[in-house]
Amino acid sequence: MRIILGFLSVLSLVPAHLGSGDSVQPRDTESVINTISPALPDGVRVTIVGGDTFMRIESDGVRVEVHGYDDEQYLRISAEGVVEVNDASMTSVLNGDRYGNVDVSNVDTSGIPKWRVTGTNGIAMWHDHRSHWMSPKPPASIDENGKVLDWDIPMIIAGTRTMVSGTLYIRDKASIAWWLFGIPAISLAVVLALTRRRLFLWLAVVASVKGVIVGYLEFTGLPDDARITPVLLMFSAGALVISLMAVAASRRDGGHHIAVSLNAGAGAALVIVVWLCVDQVRAAYVPGIEWPWMARATLPSLMGIGLVCAIDGVTRIVRPPLQKTS
């Protein structure tokens, strides 16, 4: 029964993927804007979000038009901030998926534009296949700087034909040595599990708080319309609640076994979230966080502490009770 309790404590943490922002994932490719010619007028800002995932335009009082892959009308922002996309544009259909994996057999692009309002805040964001790599498989560089390709995106801004030009690069992965942060975490957890049980329970609390902080920074570090499902934040918050319940249970008479089960559940949640976010440890780009080293150092430590908590809980749960001698 106690094993079931520990297992059920993590079931509610399975994430649901929310919106197109989930395509912002750890990766080793980066798209960089090199030039915008002529220069943008005041009130217009063009950026790349998610390493190379989205092109994003913010316009305040300036009319903007973006042309598609066949130089057709694709997207526009009015001076009043109304954002519209042309559903009769093949570009609109292809941009529905980062890799263009969409059915285009029934798309009619022969008629007049079919404009659909997507926003009223003057902000447009889309997958532009000209500026990122179009395969889950990593690209090869063509020079010593990691260059993959050059790209151009034509626009009309304030009535002036404008070209946004950039380069896609492949970046080096972070060192595998980041996983070494798990060693002191495991060592500390084992020592506390064997000698200081109360502190051992609090160790899971501290680890969960670290996960919550990093997960929160990742989630809020992206624009609202590009935010990913906050997997690290959700699982870490769940582990925090469970680990606090374990601490509370340990203070009650007869609550030892419940505390052990809950602590195992918290540990399992930490292990699961590291497995789900494992690419953040070595990927060149970590979504939303300005200091990638925080994720690279935190996740191995969560894995180490989570493993010890889970193993400790399972072994203590299944261990037969000591027989009293007469």
**Domain of 105, in residue numbers:** 29-170
Q: Which of 135, 170, 205 is the last residue of a domain?
A: 170
Residues 177 and 314 in one domain: yes
Residue 22 DSSP one-character state: G
Question: In this structure, is residue 324 part of a structural domain?
Answer: no
Residues 291 and 307 in one domain: yes
Residues 164 and 45 in one domain: yes
Residues 59 and 187 in one domain: no
**Into how many domains does the chain fold?**
2
pLDDT tens sequence across 22-68: 688 999 999 999 999 999 999 999 999 999 999 999 999 999 999 99
| Sign of the C-alpha dihedral computed for residues 98, 158, 47 and 230 taken in this order | negative
Across the range 87-96, mean pLDDT stands at 88
Q: Which of 152, 170, 188 is the last residue of a domain?
A: 170
Percent of the chain with pLDDT over 90: 70
pLDDT tens sequence across 158-209: 999 999 999 999 999 999 999 999 999 999 999 999 999 999 999 999 999 9
CB 127 within 8 A of CB 68: no
Residues 313 and 179 in one domain: yes
CB 150 within 8 A of CB 166: yes
Residues 232 and 291 in one domain: yes
Question: In this structure, is residue 325 part of a structural domain?
Answer: no
Question: In this structure, is residue 326 part of a structural domain?
Answer: no
Residues 77 and 189 in one domain: no
CB 72 within 8 A of CB 66: no
| Sign of the C-alpha dihedral computed for residues 91, 97, 98 and 103 taken in this order | negative
pLDDT at 214: 97
Residues 184 and 251 in one domain: yes
Between CA 27 and CA 172 the distance in angstroms is 10
Residues 140 and 196 in one domain: no
Between CA 53 and CA 148 the distance in angstroms is 15
Question: In this structure, is residue 298 part of a structural domain?
Answer: yes
pLDDT at 16: 34
Residues 214 and 237 in one domain: yes
The reported pTM is 0.84
